[in-house]
Each structure stands twice: as structure tokens, then as C-alpha cells.
């Protein structure tokens, strides 16, 4: 799924990062526990979270996650945005809940990063 499609599906706003509208995201993951993202996240994924701290970007960077979407209208501070820019991570915000965001992406064909997809 292209980032531009994700942006439209989630009615999201890009708050950080230059992005290639044709860039493909194959996997979606969601958690507020960064240890789960470190365990199950996949390179090139999108991370959806309501956790609002710098560790989200650090975790995305270590996991080679290319897009982070903060849900429920949460707006990242400048420290978070600056770190995302430094690490070439696109940051989106959406007013949707985590549940609805994940549902929309899954319904439209984005695969899950769950433990049952570890061999993919």
C-alpha cells in the first residue's frame, strides 16, 4: 500500500518528513508497548500508536520502520518531529482511534506484523 493511500484512508496529516507518494508499505503494526514493536515490527512498516514520547521514534528507527502514525489526534512535540526528520521517518497524525485506523488499513489489504506473520 502506498503512503499516499494510507494518508487518505486514515484521513491523516503529514507532520514530519519528506515522503515518496509511491513508496510502498507492506506491513502494519500497532502497539503502545515498544517492546512488542521491537519483537514483531518489520522493516519498512507503518507503526500506529497512541504513545506520545521520543521512544516511539527511537524504536521505529531501530526497527527500520518508515512511517509512524499517532492516533486519536495526538500531536507530537518538536523533539519527536526533529528526531523523526533526522532519521527519515514520516510522521502522520489522525483523529481516528487505533482500532479504526488498523481496521481501515487491514480491510484495504495491509498485512499485519503479528507473530503469525514472522516467516513472511
Domain harbouring 69, CATH code: 3.40.1390.20
Write the pLDDT tens digit of every residue in 49-95: 999 999 999 999 999 999 999 999 999 999 999 999 999 999 999 99
Write the pLDDT tens digit of every residue in 5-50: 999 999 999 998 777 777 889 999 999 989 999 988 889 899 999 9
Q: For residue 36, what are the domain limits?
A: 3-114
Structural domain includes residue 14: yes
With cut-offs at 50, 70 and 90, classify the pLDDT of residue 115. Answer: low
Structural domain includes residue 120: no
Q: Which triple of cell numbers denotes residue 67?
A: 512511517
Structural domain includes residue 119: no
Q: List the one residue out of 44, 48, 46, 43 whose CA is nearest residue 31.
A: 48
Do the beta carbons of residue 17 and residue 90 sit within 8 Å? yes
- For residue 112, list its beta bridge partners: 28
Structural domain includes residue 66: yes
Structural domain includes residue 57: yes
In degrees to the nearest 10, what's the CA dihedral of 105, 107, 111, 113? 70
Q: List the one residue out of 8, 36, 10 whose CA is nearest residue 101.
A: 10
Q: Count the domains in the chain.
A: 1
Structural domain includes residue 19: yes
Amino acid at each position: 500500500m502506498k503512503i499516499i493511500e494510507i494518508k487518505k484512508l486514515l484521513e491523516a496529516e503529514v507532520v514530519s518528513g519528506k515522503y515518496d507518494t509511491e513508496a510502498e508499505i507492506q506491513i502494519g503494526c500497532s502497539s503502545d508497548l515498544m517492546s512488542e514493536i521491537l519483537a514483531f515490527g518489520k522493516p519498512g512498516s507503518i507503526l500506529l500508536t497512541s504513545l506520545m514520547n521520543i521512544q516511539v521514534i527511537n524504536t521505529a528507527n531501530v526497527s527500520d520502520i518508515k512511517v509512524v502514525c499517532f492516533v486519536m489526534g495526538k500531536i507530537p512535540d518538536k523533539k519527536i518531529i526533529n528526531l523523526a526528520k533526522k532519521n527519515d521517518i514520516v510522521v502522520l497524525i489522525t483523529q481516528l482511534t487505533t482500532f479504526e485506523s488498523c481496521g481501515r488499513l487491514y480491510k484495504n489489504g495491509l498485512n499485519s506484523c503479528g507473530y503469525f506473520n514472522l516467516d513472511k
